[in-house]
Amino acid sequence: MSSEKNDFKREMLAALPSLRAFAMSLIGRHDRADDLVQDTIMKAWAKQDHFQMGTNMKAWLFTILRNELYSQMRKRGREVQDSDGHFTESLAHHPEQYGSLDLQDFRRALEMLPPDQREAIILVGASGFSYEEAATICGCALGTIKSRVNRARQRLQDILQVQGENDYGPDETSAPITSRAFVS
């Protein structure tokens, strides 16, 4: 019993770096991402009797984090729609939090995706889940995940291409706005 408990804790610890990376990729801000991870840990701890040792702890935690994020977004209402604008603004003020310049552009583009496409491409393209696992985590059909990933790729290409062309065009503040106009 108590060794099973230790296993649970150890597996949870092992999954934390990836869980944080998932949260950061979804939200874009360290403080809010870590708050979400904290909520997820507490939810998971309370639900640990539902977890079967030997099954995929990472997928289980990702599912909880995702459900928690969307339930918080529903409660906060409008903030969901505003997330990309808010994010690009915070980027401009705290560039040091977001890695290299090159990655900042990419992160900004990622933030412009609809949330369902964003999570799909992150789960499959970065977290290392199969399409099947990603579909389970998102609670949708396999075909839906595949089409979301494809649309995400296409959209990222479009956004990044526009950003590249705008290098000599609008300044840093207006560039996100103009490139968003192209994709919306």
Partner 1 sequence: MKYKTGAGRTSGTTSWTEDPNAQIAAKLKALYQSVQEEAIPSRFLDLLEKLDAAEQQAVLQGRE
* Binding residue for partner 1, selected from 71, 81, 130, 161, defined by CB under 8 A: 161
Q: What are φ and ψ of residue 99, in 5° steps?
A: 75, -160
The contact pattern for partner 1, residues 36-75, with x = CB under 8 A and - = no contact, is -xx--xx--x------------------------------
Residue 106 binds to partner 1 (criterion: CB under 8 A):
yes
In 3D space, the residue among 10, 7, 62, 56 whose CA is nearest the CA of residue 37 turns out to be 62
Task: Provide the 8-state DSSP code for 55.
Answer: S
Residue pair 19/37 in contact (Cβ under 8 Å)? The answer is yes
Question: How far, in Å, CA of 171 to CA of 119, rounded?
Answer: 29
Residue 151 binds to partner 1 (criterion: CB under 8 A):
no
Residue 110 binds to partner 1 (criterion: CB under 8 A):
yes
- Region near partner 1 per CB under 8 A, out of 55-63, 71-79, 140-148, 150-158: 150-158
- Look at residue 38 and give its three-state secondary structure: helix
CB of 96 to partner 1, least distance (A): 13
CA distances from 45 to 13, 17, 36 (A): 12, 17, 14
Binding site for partner 1 (CB under 8 A): 5, 9, 12-13, 16-18, 20-22, 24-25, 34, 37-38, 41-42, 45, 99, 101-103, 106-107, 110, 121-122, 125-127, 153, 156-157, 160-161, 164-165, 167-168
